Structure 1
Amino acid sequence: MSNMIIEQEPDDELYEHYRFEAGKGQSPLRVDKFLMNLVENATRNKIQQAAAAGNIYVNDVPVKSNYKVKANDVVRVLLSHPPFEYLLEPENIPLNVVYEDDQLLVVNKEPGMVVHPGHGNYSGTLVNALAYHFENLPLNSSERPGLVHRIDKDTSGLLVVAKTEQAMAHLTKQFADKTSEREYIALVWGNVQEDEGTVEGHIGRHIKDRMQMAVFPDGSQGKHAVTHYKVLERFGYVTLVSCKLETGRTHQIRVHMKYIGHTLFNDARYGGDAILKGTTFSKYKQFIENCFKILPRQALHAKTLGFEHPVTREFLRFDTDLPEDMQDCIEKWGIYSKSHTIEEE
């Protein structure tokens, strides 16, 4: 049994209250009966209500109460409120602080660091580090100290953290009102045809794979999302692009770029860890695998962040260099593209 948070929209959070793995000898059993045997004080009616609300998952897929649990199935109960045991442990983790005053700080997050506890990452997060280095940080609407916005675990780059209630309110409103500036650099599969463009389409939880987000162009699900992109450099098989966010949805750039046929390079969750363009000739395949070793994550960096200071009202803008893994990968592509053409492959 474990208590964690599934990464989701800030106002659509799901907390993992229970997790059970069926044994090898498990004979088929309705999931409501299976959970009744394991969850203390649970009633069948409450379990069935949870299933009807889409809160019971088996192998990361929501199921109804009559689903038959089989051997090795992983059964999880996800609810919208945090479990009572949910606690945040301060941890002495170094932070790369690029700016700080009495109202806020700006952090350059390393790739691989989770922003807040959730989905298998209950410790070692940015929030654990903030709780150690700073006292009495204001809570956001999800009761997370200091966080105004967030970026994915394997995305590197800039985040602003509020140190006072005034800063939290003022900065949160800027992000909601789309007056903040956020520029990301991404390496995507394929040769992006247009030099610049805009991707617009609602983003919501994928219907079949709840660990992914998806675009709903008819607006039937999800939330309005807009990404503006501009080509920075072309390498034939991949393209380096700048993406500016007008909205801030979970996995927005990753989902929008996949939607227009240009999945982020080495983005395993969305299929970018497969060779999507070109051939599978042994030399080309080896080159791609070498690039994946250099950059073992999606090629995405939050490069620029701008916002109005909550007290001075001065507009602050911060910029960072690309991290070493992205720079090395891009350099390899630059060399490769000069000595190979798509036709040659």
Structure 2
Amino acid sequence: MSKILSNKTNLQVLYEDNHIIIVNKRAGDIVQGDKTGDKPLSDVVKEYISDKYNKPGNVYLGVVHRLDRPTTGIVIFARTSKVLPRLNALFASKDIHKTYWAIVKNEPPKTEDTLINWLKKNPKNNKSTAYPKEVKDSKKAILHYKLIRKLDHYYLVEVNLETGRHHQIRSQLSTIGCTIKGDLKYGFDRSNPDASIHLHARSISFEHPVKKELLYISAPPPKDAIWDACL
């Protein structure tokens, strides 16, 4: 993948307090370190916190969830070890509501629908295959989609996940002929110039685990002509 190097000067922070920090991830960034050895977004956020609050030594940051490398949008981090398990519990109990936007090639067969598949991950090619019925080592995947805009050559679909599986949105949308723009792995015919895909974690809402107030955070999509047409 054509990598966009992250640094704290261009980090887009959407929300922060003493307990959590929420950022808008760019395409090409990895949330947590992996075998590539590329600098992860978690390290960039640690540097940002260290500089802003003049914190010497190691800065604590808990990774709560991840987004695929070519995907953009909202990522939440825990700023304390006390809050991390609380955020994990919110995700586990599905008390965090996430909405995604996807730009797809073909018009969905229905204006809105619920997709139920069984996904099986192949670690060799890092891809999940969606099946209509349960197969060995598969996991049930449920999402709800709605067509929200027709563009000149594409369609904007809003997706809400009921489960969180590997490449779930990418795999399930491809099964109904709605491959996401730029997603070669799941059948789109050409890549985007920056190796991104047009899948964006658009918004998130949940009760703050400490303050007990409802948070709603929205992330602007990347600047390009197609995303701009959606706003």
TM-score, scaled to structure 1 = 0.57
Distance in 2, matches of 1:93 and 1:332, equals 29
Give the counterpart letter for 1:227 in structure 2: L
The equivalent of 1:186 in structure 2 is 102
1:127 paired with 2:42, answer yes
Secondary structure of the 2:157 match is: strand
Aligned to 1:177: 93
Matches within 5 A, 1:3-42: none
Deviation at 1:297? 2.0
Instruction: Return the offset for 1:136.
Output: 4.3
Task: Give the SS at the match of 2:63.
Answer: coil
- Aligned-partner Cα distance in 1 for 2:41–2:197: 19
In the aligned structure 1, how far is the partner of 2:227 from the partner of 2:218? 19
Counterparts in 2 of 1:123 and 1:93: CA distance versus 1, 3 Å: farther
Of 210, 230, 245, the residue aligned with 2:125 is 210
User: What's the CA shift for 1:273?
Assistant: 3.2
In the TM superposition, residue 237 of structure 1 has moved relative to its aligned partner by 5.0
Provide the rounded CA distance (Å) in 2 between the counterparts of 1:266 and 1:255: 14
Q: Distance in 2 between matches of 1:332 and 1:103?
A: 35
Aligned to 2:54: none
Matched residue, 1:261: 177
TM-score by length of 2: 0.83
- Identical columns (%): 31
The answer to whether the Cα contact below 8 Å between 1:191 and 1:237 also exists between their aligned partners in 2 is no
The answer to whether the 8 Å contact 1:268/1:297 transfers is: no
1:115 positional shift? 1.1
Partners of 1:324 and 1:184 in 2: CA distance? 16
Deviation at 1:215, TM superposition (A): 1.4
Q: Matches of 2:32 and 2:188 in 1, distance apart?
A: 24
Instruction: Tell me how far apart the structure 1 counterparts of residues 213 and 85 of structure 2 sit (CA, whole Å).
Output: 16
Q: Distance in 1 between matches of 2:184 and 2:154?
A: 16
- Match of 2:42, SS? helix
What count of residue pairs does the alignment treat as equivalent?
215
**Stretch deviating more after TM superposition (307-316 or 125-134):** 125-134
Aligned to 1:200: 116
| Matching residue of 2:222 | 323
Which one-letter code corresponds to 1:268 in the other structure?
A: L
Aligned equivalent of 1:298: 197
Cα distance change of structure 1 residues 119 and 273 upon mapping to structure 2, 3 Å threshold: farther
For the structure 1 residues 152 and 180, does the alpha-carbon distance in structure 2 shift closer, same or farther, using more than 3 Å as the test? same
Deviation at 1:315, TM superposition (A): 1.6
Asked which structure has the greater RCO (Cα within 8 Å, sep 6+), the reply is: 2
Helix, strand or coil at the partner of 1:202: strand
After TM superposition, give the deviation of residue 305 of structure 1 in Å.
1.1
Aligned counterparts of 2:103 and 2:119: Cα–Cα separation in 1: 21
User: Is the contact made by 2:104 and 2:179 (CA closer than 8 Å) also made in structure 1?
Assistant: yes
Structure showing greater radius of gyration is: 1
- Give 5+ residue unaligned stretches, structure 1: 1-90, 138-144, 275-288, 334-345
Aligned to 1:152: 68
Q: CA deviation at 1:331?
A: 5.9
> Counterparts of 1:97 and 1:235 in 2: how far apart (Å)?
29
* 1:314 alignment counterpart: 213
Moved more, 229-238 or 100-109: 229-238
Q: Pick from 166, 173, 179: which aligns with 2:82?
A: 166
Relative to 1, partners in 2 of residues 1:272 and 1:92: Cα closer, same or farther, differing over 3 Å? closer
- Residue type of the partner of 1:265? K
Equivalent-residue separation in structure 2 for 1:160 and 1:124 (angstroms): 18
